[in-house]
Chains A and B, each alone.
Chain A
Amino acid sequence: MRISIIMPNLLLPDGENPVIGGLERYAWQLVALIKELGYEVDVHQFAGADWHRQIYGTDVYGYGMASWSETAALEAMHQNTGAVLYLSIIQAPLRYKPRSVIVSHGVWWDDPAASRDYVQRSLEVCRQALTEAGHVVSCDYNFLNVVRSLYPDLADRITVIPNFVDLTQFYPSAGPKGQLRILYPRRLERCRGAEMFVQMARTLVHKGYDDLRFEMAVDRNHPDRNQALLEATRDLEAVLAVKTYPFEAMGDVYRSAQIVVFPSLCSEGTSLACLEAMACGCAVVATDVGGLTNIIINGYNGILVPPRPHELTRAVEYLVCHPHDRALLCERAKAAARAFDVEAWKRRWRGVIRTVYGSI
């Protein structure tokens, strides 16, 4: 039996380069797991032209008509597939296939600048997904709780499977770390709060913390944004580095940092990066947005702050000045991260896949 994964972008629209982001890593993990269970698997995605690629032995199909109608592309995907798994809730109008699984990566419409129309539309999209699909897998309790507060009758269709961390790749550093490094390991999307990180760095530098080093490990999905960030942080270039790394290098990047910051404004699930930073024994400062609140217990295994610049700055400054407390948070973050071991994630997903798609 074949399970087809439907998702916006595993590869960039030209089909040449992989997209860098959590959704894509989630997809690869799931592809491997489905194969492991003995099903066949392929991926169908939006694209700028029709193409077919084989990546790591998996067929990936791009649908060019997405550039003028995502709904039309989705309909074509439905025609070309049998059993499907939607890797995210789809924004474009469509009818979900019955007996399918949809993955929710958290509430995405909680943008403080969102219009009421956008919120209303997003809620309708959620209601439809929950009504039509047999099963929704949510990566955090927050999405579930928001849904229950809106549509109490639909909440039981949700199964929560928190995100994962691969502990063989993300483990603490053996020796002591050198200079105090503060890391932002996220994409350059507005909702991820890169600006708030820069503001925090600038405030601390102006306050006289000369020996801190800041690093932003970002994506290259939109090179113009990287350029804009470089220009906006020119005044800090002696202490703040903007870099991009291949995913394989991220373990070392976390291990070289003491404090890792997740300044998201909105649209958060149980962030893979946050779990990875924890597993590497970093002290985490995160905003109390979305699923981050299901990973970090404020003052226990990290610090949670509201998404406001001065609160974020104060929390980072506190950790800079209190190495003992910082060490305590690191220890507990490391211990808690073990509960998110990828093996536990696989065990839960196996159950869902067998229940929904049945025997091979």
Chain B
Amino acid sequence: MTSGRVAILTTNHFHPAGDRIIYGGAEKYGLELSRLLLSLGFEVSWWQIGDGWQKEILPGVLVRTLPATEAPFHTIPQLNQAFHERAVDHDYFIYFVTFLAYPQAMEPSISISHGVYWDYPGFDATLNTEADRAEWRRRLWIALSGPRRVVSVDTATINWVAATFPGLVSRFEYIPNFVDVAAVDATEPAGKAPGRIRVVYPRRLTTVRGINEMVRVAEVLSGRYPEVEFHFIGRGHQDEVEKDMMAWVSRHPGTYYYWLPPEDVLRVLKSTDIAVIPSKAAEGTSLACLEAMAAGCAVIASWVGGLGNLIIDGYNGLVIKPTVQDLLTSLERLIRDEDLRVFLGRNARETARAFDLPVWQQRWRKVIQSIFV
């Protein structure tokens, strides 16, 4: 006897075998959520865009695919419709991304907001007229008002809703992202030569994550501080970006570019002095930031999105405006001040315990048990 069948709708964050694999926070979140539902006795299935392939991501947990080719106004009504037709034999529903609940939400359902994703100037260019923008907002409002609960990974989203759609905020629940503290503690640090200072940028090579600012800063500081090594760990979305990055590090001594599976990124973070999260937009309570904190790094984070839920400037990290100048100043300050690095890293490590995986599971359990009954 199971507690019921849960169908989870997502966009396309799982990949068929052989495809380009980008380890992102969404996939990690999805796996932990699946495990939690299984532990509560639910059967779990995932649904996403695809051309008919199936894949088992955990024992008994299948990802199935649905056809969808268009995404008007940042929604995917075709996918929503197909899900409604195919998943009718399930009892409970989760929209893994908020806009997937447009135009209709199954009953009862929960949706998840992973942070504000429309806060960069380029987003405006995707909605050409005032009317388009109004239509996007209308659809977002419908998507947010359908599910019984919207779980938000940060308070920035909740506060945006409160400041934009009065009255809608009461269905929101703040559950910040998690870090598996025990796993981080058990990880052996990667080797590092004595006397070196390791700076890591543990993100994808994309504009919104601040890659350009970080590259520029590394360019300046690698010449100034030969004892500092700069690691860029993360994939780009195109081969060209990765090639450019490889060419760039070959011209700059003290800089390194590579990518690793998540557990090996942790190993590097464990021997890292300074982790840099200079996001310019589209940021929640970043898993990468939490991992760096749990690993005891001194973190420099931008003040964007959910990062302000994790870092108190000057206490457990430094909070900056994501510009070349601010990044340069703060990084240089930490390179020169070992005491401050140690102080921030120690407090970050302690703070990360408030985001430990079991705490996240307990908060989610409460939501699931109040809605899926």
Contacts and interface: CB of A to CB of B under 8 A. Distances in A.
Contacts, number: 122
Interface in B143-172: 155-156, 158-160, 162-164, 166-167, 169-170, 172
A297 B159 contact: no
A150 interface: yes
B166 A146 contact: no
Contacts of A140: 308
Contact of A288 (B160, B174, B281): B174
B310 interface: yes
A115 B163 contact: no
B313 A339 contact: yes
B162 A295 contact: no
B359 interface: yes
A119 interface: yes
Contacts of A107: 159, 162-163
B354 A297 contact: yes
Contacts of A336: 312, 315
Nearest to A268: B159
B95 to A, nearest CB: 20
Interface in A255-295: 266, 288-290, 293-295
B315 A306 contact: no
Given A144-B303, A152-B123, A344-B314, A290 B166 contact: no
Q: How large is the interface on B (under 10, 10 to 19, 20 to 34, 35 or more residues)?
A: 35 or more
Given A112-B162, A112-B169, 13 more contacts: A115-B166, A116-B166, A119-B164, A146-B159, A150-B164, A156-B321, A160-B319, A162-B313, A289-B162, A293-B155, A298-B176, A300-B354, A304-B155
18 contacts: A112-B162, A119-B164, A145-B305, A146-B160, A266-B162, A293-B155, A293-B159, A293-B309, A294-B312, A295-B312, A297-B309, A299-B359, A300-B350, A300-B351, A306-B170, A308-B170, A336-B312, A336-B315
Interface of A: 107, 109-116, 119, 123, 140-142, 144-146, 148-150, 152-153, 155-156, 159-160, 162, 266, 288-290, 293-295, 297-300, 304, 306, 308, 332, 335-336, 338-339, 344
The 9 A-B pairs with the shortest beta carbon distances in the complex, nearest first, are: A141-B308, A300-B354, A110-B162, A293-B155, A339-B315, A339-B314, A148-B119, A114-B166, A145-B156
Interface of B: 116, 118-121, 123-124, 155-156, 158-160, 162-164, 166-167, 169-170, 172-174, 176, 281, 303-305, 308-310, 312-315, 319, 321, 347, 350-351, 353-354, 359
